[in-house]
Structure 1
């Protein structure tokens, strides 16, 4: 097994250096995916890419977080890695938990290690409460409670089962990516290990979540998944009968 951190970056020039430093300190190589950042951030990434253990992949124009993650996972597999740790570029995720994620990966190399946020007072209340609508839809679309939180972008993916799933979700190119890929991996029978992790929203953090456009995309994604769930329902119900609702 081998793991690389994949970080989608779009104009996070002020925070990305600290995230990279922390990951390298844990002995984890880093793949930066520049999703069409402006010149200032692009220059920061060029500088970081000169460091040992850092690789840079660049989109010519902004394609969205989901597209950047997908490009990063494919490149990670091409480079020979078996797993990819996805983490945000803005510093909201606790890099101190990297050893815990890696330990879970070692114990369950077949599973997605999915971060479950433990928020402090910095979390915007609208974002916090809005997540519950997605949680409920995910529980419906998997006919289970196997996925505790489907929106946290702090995860380790086993790449062998993940890459075929990406082919089946070409529309999920932005903030709809994180919940859709986790649901589709669950449908494919990939186990999910839910790992609590602290999440904070830095006061000077850069968020690209568009409350209108991204919520519309997420609503469309839930609709796609609901009709997909109907096709998978017999198998999902069998898992439920066998006691896999939470497993």
Structure 2
């Protein structure tokens, strides 16, 4: 049984960063349409994909924002955030383009009381099976640092791409990174600014062994982010 939505779907922009996602976008977007979203509230950010990702999104009638070259997941998020804020949306939901998230679980986010949180993050705490080791390690490291030094309660999944974020947070919190570390940077800076973080249990299906994370470079980026959070921000 679906929970009662306290946040109307019409007030939510949906931002989907996408790189080489031509094979999966149709399912993700079809699921959103079944959920009740309309094409004009969805933005797919094609991050310089060589496989026709942007064309696949256009065929579904949604908004498409293009990067001429691959700039990183964080840069794609920022492009989508800017478009959603300019369009006047009060809330922005992000979701990955690879079908690992269940669109139907967006109801869990929309059922939250908007007076009690500023950003809600999906947590895969009880569903880590199948997560590549490098992603698991980086996620555990950054989540631990944020939990110990920034949050009033544990942050269990600082890198989950399934989120609901108030436009106010995105207007007030500067984002300096452009890659996979941007999702953790947003959590860190939001905590430092005093915004309230909620967590929403979600299920995740890892359908593809391929990951766009660079085990070496992205690990360094996350370690650098942790040090900046601890000593410079």
Tell me whether the two structures share a fold, i.e. TM-score over 0.5: yes
Task: Return the offset for 1:135.
Answer: 1.7
In the TM superposition, structure 1's runs of 4+ consecutive aligned residues that sit over 3 Å from their partners are 106-110
- Separation in 2, partners of 1:227, 1:120: 30
Aligned to 2:81: 73
Aligned to 1:38: 50
3-state DSSP of counterpart to 1:58:
strand
> What does residue range 3-14 of structure 1 map to in structure 2 within 5 Å?
3-14=12-23
Deviation sequence 1:112-165 (CA, Å, 0-9, x none): 011111326332344334422222211233154352321111100101222221
> What does residue range 47-62 of structure 1 map to in structure 2 within 5 Å?
47-48=59-60, 51=61, 54-62=62-70
| 2:215 corresponds to which of 205, 211, 233 | 211
Deviation sequence 1:205-233 (CA, Å, 0-9, x none): 6421111110011111111111135xxxx
Aligned to 1:173: 178
- Separation in 1, partners of 2:18, 2:93: 14
- Separation in 1, partners of 2:107, 2:227: 36
Cα RMSD of the aligned pairs, angstroms, is 1.9
Moved more, 58-67 or 144-153: 144-153
- Separation in 1, partners of 2:134, 2:71: 25
Inter-CA distance 139–110: structure 2 relative to 1 (3 Å threshold): closer
* TM-score, structure 1 as length reference: 0.82
Normalized per residue, the structure richer in helix is: 1
Gaps of 5+ in 2: 1-7
Deviation sequence 1:79-134 (CA, Å, 0-9, x none): 11111101000111121201111121x54475201111132633234433442222
Aligned to 1:245: none
3-state DSSP of counterpart to 2:81:
helix
Gaps of 5+ in 1: 230-247
- Separation in 1, partners of 2:93, 2:160: 12
* TM-score, structure 2 as length reference: 0.87
**Is 1:16 paired with 2:25?**
yes
Q: Name the larger-Rg structure.
A: 1
Deviation sequence 1:161-216 (CA, Å, 0-9, x none): 222213xx32x1001101110111111111111111111210x3642111111001
3-state DSSP of counterpart to 1:93:
coil
Asked whether the 8 Å contact 1:139–1:145 carries over to 2, the reply is yes
**Matched residue pairs, number?**
220
